[in-house]
Amino acid sequence: MTTLSQEKTVAPGKSIIEKLNVVTALVLGIVSAVVVWRLSLAFLPEDSESAALFTREDKITLLSMCAWFVGFMTGIGALVGPFRWLMGKDLSHDENMFLAGKEMGPKRYFRYTTDHKVVGIQYLFITILIFFLGGGLAMLIRTNLGRAEGGWLHPQAYNDIVGTHGILMIVGTIIMITGPFGNFIMPIMIGARDMAFPRLNALSFWLIVAAAVPLLWGQFLGGISTGWSAYNPLASQAPLGMDGYIMYICIFAVSTMVAGANITTTVVKMRAKGMTWNRTPIFIYGTVASVALALPAFPVFFLSQVLSAFDRALGTSFYNTSLGGSGWLYENLFWLMGHPEVYVILIPSIAALMEMAPVFTRRPLFGFNVAIMGIAGITGLSVLVWAHHMYISGWAPLLNAPFMLTTELISIPTGMLFLVLVGTLWRGRLWMTMPLMSIFALLWNFMIGGVTGIYLSDVPADAFLHGSMYVTAHFHYTLMGAGLTGALASLVYWFPKMTGRMFDKTLSWISFWLVQIGFNVAFVGMFMVGLAGQPRRVGTYAPTFSTANLVTTIGAYTIMIGMLVLLYGVIDSARNGVKAPKNPWQAKTLEWTVDYPIPLENFDELPTVTTDAYGYGKAQS
Amino acid sequence: MSVETHAHHEHPDVVGSRNRLGVILLLVADIAFALSMVFVYFYLRGQNVNNMWLPAATADHPAIEPLSSKSAWIVTAICAFGVLSHVYGLRGARAGNQTQLKLGSLVAFIASIVAIANQTNTIASAPFTFTDGAYVSCFYMFAFLNMAHLILTVFISLGNWNRARLGLYTENFWHVDIVRIWWIWMAVSSLLGAFCLSFP
């Protein structure tokens, strides 16, 4: 992993910072939750028999989860900095070095460590874990759908698994690029010593860990039976597990906002001398566009869940129609975040592949400015399309046509990104690696995802396709076929810089083909049954859909085998892989100029940039 | 890219500028959050679903009357006073007058305490409960937002005053400048709530 000396030189018993780690966090979190749970049970009054809603259990659950959160964040050390600021006792140089994980060895991965490379590895680990859990749930879904009568999963359990799989995968795909690579690679790529706010960086990661527990906790309280979108008033009537979802989203939204402010500030303020915007790598644009889009979008999602918690625990009426609320209000708040979130996932993935395209074609990036315009166009338009998710809900039918127009307009900047990739590949000297093949895979998958999306943006067609497996297949083609493909390519591409070892080439190829073939088999089958009318989120189906569902299940198992091969590749290559040279791909961005192990502050002397990053095919390139 | 070298040193102004941008970006998120609340308020008010924005009287429940927005405007006025006090202290810091900085910071801190007491009183004395319709739900929404902001403001203004008292702002005072940005947003967000509640 990263690279500091394994020596342990920190003297014991110095300050509270040195005593806090993930164990103290877990202990304090659990103790806090149990204490608040017992106190709530003892002191919260019973619901009145005449009350319209029974809310006491929700109050107890939410209070206990809040206590877990506060206890965990205190135990990991997140509050040390703010309280030291309050007391006027700022952290000393030595304390900051301790927080950076200097000379601490592997223990730094279990602390509130501020070094961006440690945070990047932590993000990589949690992303893999999320995909492992979410993927496991996907296999349960597909196994249940292997036969028309379903059968071995209870319908309530099936609903919970679908919802949990959905929200896990959404969070996993949101962080899969900006988490590991945005943290580990991006600061080095722009020639910075660290992120602008290292403590906020650690905060954004540990918030995700803190958020995971309420979601798991909720599984024992009835789970998420509403699907990942958790529509109200359905969610307000769901079991207590819904409170876990609410806490999970609220904490994750804060993490996203913190990361967004941090990454944007780092890029705007800390680029190396000479790195003008014209010389800034396209991956940086993609990362910043993603987090900048999340910055105003996720607070709306946060609010939607806060109001949901109020309705459940206090009996307010934001979404309760009988008391003056509106389910449409929830849908608006949810999709105001929900559609930009698609591009929060996609843009950094495509930008990462655009970063790799010149390296593996040995050509300059075709249309650098077109790529930036495409990214900016998608970012701008993505906040104006949310109501296409609500055509069938009956909300504001007069607005259907304008939203159809804005949705279809997004094809234009998306087409620009296709143009840049195809233009870069055109007549390039192709270096056939897994990342390069991932560009072809993205073009294929995203073309299918994009074209099928046009039908869903079309009001009359959507009236037929809405709520069917067609929709499920469409968004898997965009988020997985395009988004995840870019993330897997990024893993292989930047693996040498993150671990000092090359990713096993054979395993990367085997994994790539298994995942891509399995993916297309699985989701083409899903398109077929969707077009024929099979509804999504239902554990059984008519026998006429059997063959295509069986094909989809076989495809899903193929994906699973491919992903397990990839996971084995990660572990085996990190332990036994061939040691990587400093610049194995002969790339021109700054991260490839630093040796492995990478020093704590990345550069002994900060670099000065004199050219753009894509000068391939030129003299002395 | 070529790698050349130059000496590495970060001036406090550089760090201050970076922190300033970071805080503004975090505020972008908070502004989106507050504006979403404004949307919620006017959406539910406009829809008036089942005539339950302000429920009429029934056999076992009196009609819900909207609360005067006066208390919300009072909290906003206190916050505005807090802004002015803080700016007064900031000017002192800029002029090298530590006494003025301490005084301004202390008055701003006291203003935040007074505001939070006022906000608590507004919530505690509201003549309805959470289940009394959509207007009441929105009233509590704004009240809790203000409360959360005020708790943060108390923390920040206490820290700011304490640091001024300890003489930590004698050489550079970009912290004070950033606290000013927060104070202004505190007042504006309170004003947004008061504005909405003026149109029940």
Examine residue B72 and state whether it is found in any structural domain, yes or no.
yes
Examine residue B133 and state whether it is found in any structural domain, yes or no.
yes
Query: How high is the pLDDT of residue A53?
Result: 65
- Beta strand spans in chain B (E): none
Sort out which chain B residues have CB atoms less than 8 A from A196's CB and list them.
18, 22
Across residues A297-315, what is the average pLDDT?
Answer: 95
Of B4, B39, B51, the CB nearest to A607: B4
**Sign of the C-alpha dihedral computed for residues A446, A447, A451 and A454 taken in this order:** positive
Sort out which chain B residues have CB atoms less than 8 A from A333's CB and list them.
36, 40
Sort out which chain A residues have CB atoms less than 8 A from B135's CB and list them.
324
Chain A (587-606) residues lying within 8 Å, Cβ to Cβ, of chain B = 588-590, 593, 605-606
Residue A618 confidence class, pLDDT cut points 50, 70, 90: low
**Residue B55 to residue A324, Cβ atoms within 8 A:** yes
Across residues A566-594, what is the average pLDDT?
Answer: 96
> Is A298 an interface residue toward B (CB < 8 Å)?
yes
**Residue A326 to residue B37, Cβ atoms within 8 A:** no
Residue A358 confidence class, pLDDT cut points 50, 70, 90: very high
Chain A (320-339) residues lying within 8 Å, Cβ to Cβ, of chain B = 321-326, 329, 332-333, 336
Of A265, A303, A609, the CB nearest to B33: A303
For helices B134-165 and A282-313, the axis angle rounded to 10 degrees is 120
Examine residue B172 and state whether it is found in any structural domain, yes or no.
yes
Judge whether residue A243 has pLDDT over 60.
yes
Domain enclosing residue B192, as ranges: 33-48+67-197
Of A51, A53, A317, the CB nearest to B133: A317
Across residues A268-296, what is the average pLDDT?
Answer: 95
Q: Tell me, what's the ipTM?
A: 0.93
Query: How high is the pLDDT of residue A52?
Result: 61
DSSP per-residue letters across A446-463? HHHHHHHHHHHHSHHHHH
Across residues A291-319, what is the average pLDDT?
Answer: 94
What single-letter amino acid sits at B107?
V
Segment A179-202, tens digit of pLDDT: 999 999 999 999 999 999 999 999
Across residues B45-70, what is the average pLDDT?
Answer: 91
Residue B4 confidence class, pLDDT cut points 50, 70, 90: very low
Alpha-carbon distance of A466 to A389, in angstroms, equals 9
Sort out which chain A residues have CB atoms less than 8 A from B47's CB and list them.
326, 329
Of B4, B31, B49, the CB nearest to A324: B49
Across residues A289-298, what is the average pLDDT?
Answer: 93
Of A90, A268, A315, the CB nearest to B130: A315
The enclosing H or E element of A142 equals: helix A116-144
Q: Kindly tell me the number of DSSP H helices and DSSP E strands found in chain A.
A: 22, 0
Across residues A243-258, what is the average pLDDT?
Answer: 97
Examine residue B177 and state whether it is found in any structural domain, yes or no.
yes
Judge whether residue A11 has pLDDT over 70.
no
Distance of CA B76 to the CA centre of its chain: 9
Examine residue B8 and state whether it is found in any structural domain, yes or no.
no
**Residue B163 to residue A88, Cβ atoms within 8 A:** yes
Into how many domains does chain B fold? 1
Judge whether residue A486 has pLDDT over 80.
yes
Q: Which residue is closest to B15 within chain A, CA to CA?
A: A196
Across residues A26-40, what is the average pLDDT?
Answer: 98
> Is A257 an interface residue toward B (CB < 8 Å)?
yes
**Residue A316 to residue B136, Cβ atoms within 8 A:** yes
Query: How high is the pLDDT of residue A157?
Result: 92
- Residue A509 backbone phi and psi in degrees, to 5: -70, -45
Cβ neighbours around A270 below 10 Å, total: 20
Alpha-carbon distance of A130 to A362, in angstroms, equals 35
**Residue A295 to residue B141, Cβ atoms within 8 A:** no
> The whole model's pTM is what?
0.94
**Residue A325 to residue B25, Cβ atoms within 8 A:** no
Sort out which chain B residues have CB atoms less than 8 A from A193's CB and list them.
8
CATH code for the domain in which residue B102 is found = 1.20.120.80
Q: Which of A305, A290, A358, A345 is nearest to A482 (CA)?
A: A345
Residue B5 confidence class, pLDDT cut points 50, 70, 90: very low
**Residue B29 to residue A298, Cβ atoms within 8 A:** yes
**Residue B40 to residue A307, Cβ atoms within 8 A:** yes
Alpha-carbon distance of A445 to A550, in angstroms, equals 21
The enclosing H or E element of A211 equals: helix A198-219
CATH topology of domain A116-593: Cytochrome C Oxidase; Chain A (1.20.210)
> Is A269 an interface residue toward B (CB < 8 Å)?
yes
Alpha-carbon distance of A333 to A347, in angstroms, equals 22
Of B29, B52, B134, the CB nearest to A299: B29
Instruction: Kindly report the nearest CA distance between residue A150 and chain B, in angstroms.
Output: 40
Sort out which chain A residues have CB atoms less than 8 A from B8's CB and list them.
193, 605-606
**Residue A321 to residue B49, Cβ atoms within 8 A:** yes
| Longest CA pairwise span in chain B (Å) | 82
Identify the residue among A249, A283, A304, A317 best suited for mutation to test binding to B, counting B beta carbons within 10 A and taking the highest: A317
Query: How high is the pLDDT of residue A4?
Result: 41
Instruction: Kindly report the nearest CA distance between residue B5 and chain A, in angstroms.
Output: 5
Question: Cα-Cα-Cα-Cα dihedral of A364, A365, A369, A372, to 10°?
Answer: -150
Across residues A379-406, what is the average pLDDT?
Answer: 93
User: Tokens for A298?
Assistant: 């996720």
Query: How high is the pLDDT of residue A2?
Result: 40
Sort out which chain B residues have CB atoms less than 8 A from A279's CB and list them.
1
DSSP per-residue letters across A236-298? GGS-THHHHHHHHHHHHHHHHHHHHHHHHHHHHHHPPBT--GGGS-HHHHHHHHHHHHHHHHH
For helices A368-381 and A282-313, the axis angle rounded to 10 degrees is 10
Residue ranges of the domains in chain A? 19-90, 116-593
Judge whether residue A3 has pLDDT over 80.
no
